[in-house]
Every structure is written in C-alpha cells, then in structure tokens.
Amino acid sequence: MNITVEALRTFTEQVFVGMGCPQADAELAADVLVSADSRGVDSHGVARLAGYVRLLDLKRLNPRPQITVVHETPSTAVVDGNAGLGLVVAPRAMQIAIEKARNVGTGWVAVRNSNHFGIAGYHALLATEHNMIGWTMTHAAPLVAPTFSLEKMLGTNPVAVAIPANEEPTFLADFASTAVAYGKMELLQRKNEPTPEGWAQDADGQATTDPNAVKSGGALLPLGSDRQHGSHKGYALGAVVDILSGVLSGANYGPWVPPFATAGFMTADEGVGVGTGHFVGAMRIDAFRPAQDFKNNMDVWIRRFRNAKAVEGQRVLIPGDPERETEALRRHQGIPLHPTVVKTLEELGARFGVPLRVPL
C-alpha cells in the first residue's frame, strides 16, 4: 500500500495527540518520523510508532515533558528531556545549540533522560537552515560487541553531520558505527536468507551468516567487521558517541542504555544514569570564514567528488544523495508501507480513534 507523505504525517500526528502529546509536539514528532519514511529509512519511520506507544504503556515515556536546561555555559548546555519523546527533545536541544552558536560561534548540548529520537540526520539538518554545520549523535540499546567481546556493550550509535553548500544540495553524512543497520538483518530474517559474513558474530564470537544471530546470543559487529579490517575503529567511534551521549550528559551508558521499546522494562535503579542520551551541536560557518565563500567551496568539493571517475556501471555519491533521491521520488509516488506495518498502524488507529486514510 502506498500512502501520501501528507496523509501519513497527519495520521501519525493524530496518534501522538491521542497519546497525550501537545499539538505542537505531535506535529514535530510526526514530521521527524515521517521524514525517515520519506527518505527511505523505513526502519526509523512509522514502523516504530507502535514502539513509542509501548514506551508510553510502560510508563517510560512522558507525553507532556518539561524539557529543562540543567546546566549551561555560553557554548554548552545539558538538557533533561523529562522522559519525553526523543523526536521532540532532540530538536529542542538543537535549537538551544543553534542559539548558542549564534551568540558565541558554536553550541553543544548533551541530553539525558530522553528516548529514541528517530533519524539523526533530521536534527543535524536543522542547523543548516541558519548557515551552520549541524552535528547529532545518539547512543542506543546494546546490540554491538566491541572487538573481541562476547558481550553486547554498545548500540548502533550513529553520527550525523550536515554541511550546507550553495547551489549543490546539503552534504549529509548520517551513519551508524556498525557494519550494517539492524534493519537490514531483519529483512533477511523475514526472508530466511543468510547474511554476508562480517555483519554479526555468533554466541561464541565467531563469524556467522545466521540472520538471527543477534537474537541467539550473538551481536552486531562494529564498522570494520573484524580486527584485520579495522573493527577497533568502529568500536572506538561507537564508544565516543556513547560517552558524549551518556557519560557527559548524565544518562545511562554502554550496556546500561535502556532498550527502545521491547517488553523488558528497566527501572531507574538498575541503571547508572537517567534514561537515554544524545549529543548535538551547531557551528556557525561565519565564525570561521565568510559563509558564502565556504558554501561556494562546498559546491566545488561536491562537484569534484560527484564527477570522480567511477567503477564501470556505478557513480560516486555524495553523502545524503541516496536519501534525497528517494525523498524526491516518494513525494510524488507516495510512501510504500509493508503489510505488517499497515496492520500495526491500523491497530494504533483503532486504539486512538484515528483512521488510516488516503491510500494513493
């Protein structure tokens, strides 16, 4: 089933209102979530809406949070998300970072007591509207084994960096610190097909092609896959994201990061901090050099890379290209929803009295 971006956004917004969110928060949360679907990152879009509802049912989500700044300096802040939706807390934190960058050149905000925030790239892009470079990081529940570890100690811990250009579209790096997103494993689970080696290890830490490895004692592998190909680098990157998101903010960290929305409910006592954490930043370009000069140079950078001689039948992409191309397509053709996703959305619709309308 295909649905228009607008219809899916309206439906999602109404579910958030049904969950008790204020109207403005519901609009923002729906925009973040549906932007993932628009951009082809289906694993982070409305497929997760039911997860946010489960968080609410588990009383781990506060639909009407008082988001507060608990400490700040001219270029930094720590924000307490009051157990609100990460979809709402993260953009709020980024607005604070942008304001600080306006005043003193850069702004950096560590967030604690939040929840899953959707796609990292959405929040990083907010800064580019102000001629700033945007940074977003978040940790997540442990699925990843550091090099040589049998235990899952880190989440897929993504980093996003958004950099504006002039005539060319915005450069947007947005990537997990793992070899592969867990969503790609799930696709192969449904089809019962093996994965390539280098995506996951089994319960003994050995290479495996079992798509169910992570569910049966195994773990996702850091970017680099194994020691010989630099998995210690992916592990180090994921660790930095975890420390900035968790330790610097006063959230949980490492293996204590609470699960997104599985049945397992983690009480505060079991943790080492408060909820889930993020780290966002904004750097005003003209705090370094004139924004127009920089953006013209970014055009040169992007064109040179895009025109690099490529392997037969391929082209060299700029980070952000694939998602932008999908977005252009789906704006016209609508967003294809998997039948299982349609089913969960219909269930949510029934619960909150919101019909899922307007298939394309």
How far apart are alpha carbons 107 and 227 in whole angstroms?
35
Residue 283 touches a copy of itself, criterion: CB under 8 A = yes
Interaction with a copy of itself in 44-103: which residues (CB under 8 A)?
Answer: 71, 73-76, 78, 103
Write the interaction track for a copy of itself spanning residues 123-152; mark x where CB under 8 A is met and - where it is not: ----------x------------xxxxxx-
Determine the interface stretch with a copy of itself among 57-65, 117-125, 177-185, 260-268 (rule: CB under 8 A).
Answer: 177-185
Both tokens of 210, joined, read 């079992």
Which of 69, 268, 287, 358 forms a contact with a copy of itself (CB under 8 A)?
Answer: 287
Phi-psi region of 272 (alpha: psi -120 to 50; beta: other; left: phi over 0): alpha
Report the nearest approach of a copy of itself to the CB of residue 15 (Å).
32
Q: How far is the CB of 4 from a copy of itself (least distance, A)?
A: 30
Of the residues 300, 329, 350, 360, which one makes contact with a copy of itself according to CB under 8 A: 300
DSSP 8-class letter at 217: T
**Coil, strand or helix at 89:** helix
Instruction: Give 191-212 as a DSSP string.
Output: HT-PPPTTSEE-TTS-EE--TT
Q: How far is the CB of 304 from a copy of itself (least distance, A)?
A: 6
- Pick the closer one to a copy of itself by CB: 19 or 257: 257
Q: Which two tokens stand for residue 81?
A: 């998300």
* Backbone conformation region of residue 83, classed left if phi is above 0, alpha if psi is from -120 to 50, else beta: left
Q: How far is the CB of 67 from a copy of itself (least distance, A)?
A: 17
Q: Does 277 bind a copy of itself (CB under 8 A)?
A: no
Residues 208-237: x where in contact with a copy of itself by CB under 8 A, - otherwise, as a string:
---------------xxx--xxx-xxxxxx
What's the token pair of residue 178? 């793992």
The distance of closest approach from Cβ of residue 212 to a copy of itself in the complex, given in angstroms and rounded to an integer, is 19
Between CA 281 and CA 328 the distance in angstroms is 27
Give the residue carrying structure tokens 């929840």. Answer: 115
| Given 163, 261, 337, 356, the residue binding a copy of itself (CB under 8 A) | 163
User: Does position 191 bind a copy of itself by CB under 8 A?
Assistant: no
Cα distances (Å, whole numbers) of residue 196 to 150, 158, 226: 20, 21, 13
Q: Which stretch binds a copy of itself (CB under 8 A): 186-194, 258-266, 291-299, 334-342?
A: 291-299
Near a copy of itself in 236-265, by CB under 8 A: 236-237, 239-240, 242-244, 247-250, 253-255
What six digits make up the tokens of 179? 């070899």
Residues 6+ apart with CB under 8 A from 190: none
- Smallest distance from a copy of itself to CB 225, Å: 5
C-alpha 143/C-alpha 155 separation (Å) is 5
